[in-house]
Every structure is written in structure tokens, then in C-alpha cells.
Amino acid sequence: MNDGELVTRELVEKYLEITRDARKKATPLAKGEDELRNLDSMISMCDNYHSDATHFMEKGDLVRAFGAINYAHAWLDAAVRIGLLDGHGDDVLFTLP
């Protein structure tokens, strides 16, 4: 059990899974060239930070892994919040508008 003070491998794995679930659930709402370009950039940032988190975890740097996976999820959450992705009403995975 995590008392909120320790970053463990299990905690990082939990958030990696949550972000994978969110990435699968969210679907594009972007319209027009500018919105599509912005959404593509946000999704790329999510994917890159997710990859970084996995890399850091594999190297045993759990603090950086935890930070990176939270950044990854934040990019998805922001895209839902501003209407570029549809979170399908899931207020557990996303901060809905």
C-alpha cells in the first residue's frame, strides 16, 4: 500500500496503465487544419512523455518516470478540456469541460 509519500514501481505502472486507457478512450473532435495540427502535436507530446516514463522506469528512476507519466496524461486531459478530444463523459480519466 502506498501512503502517498513513496513513488514505487507499482504506482508508476498504475499510472502508465491509466494513461494507456485514456489514450485508447479519447477520440478526435478536432476540425480544420489548425485544430488537427494542434491535436497531432498534443498526442505526440503524450506519446513521447509516455515513452520517457517507461524508459525512466526501466532505468529505475521512478521519480522521473512518475513525473513523465503525469505530463503524458496532462496532454490528453488538456486536449479533452479544450475540445480537441472527446473523453466520452469519463470524469475519472479526464477533467471534462
Distance, in Å, from the CA atom of 49 to the CA atom of 59, rounded to the nearest integer, reads: 15
Q: Is 3 inside a domain boundary? A: no
Quick check: helix, strand or coil at residue 85?
strand
CATH of the domain at 71: 1.20.1270.90
Q: How many domains does the chain have?
A: 1
For residue 42, what are the domain limits? 9-86
Written as tens digits, the pLDDT of the chain (97 aa) is: 566 679 999 999 999 999 999 999 999 999 999 999 999 999 999 999 999 999 999 999 999 999 999 999 999 999 999 999 999 999 999 998 7
Q: Is 96 inside a domain boundary? A: no
Cα 92–93–96 angle (5° rounding)?
80
Q: Is 94 inside a domain boundary? A: no
Q: Which has the closest alpha carbon to 7: 90, 66, 75? A: 66
Burial class (CB in 10 A: 0-12, 13-18, 19+), 44: exposed
* 8 Å CB contact between 26 and 85: yes
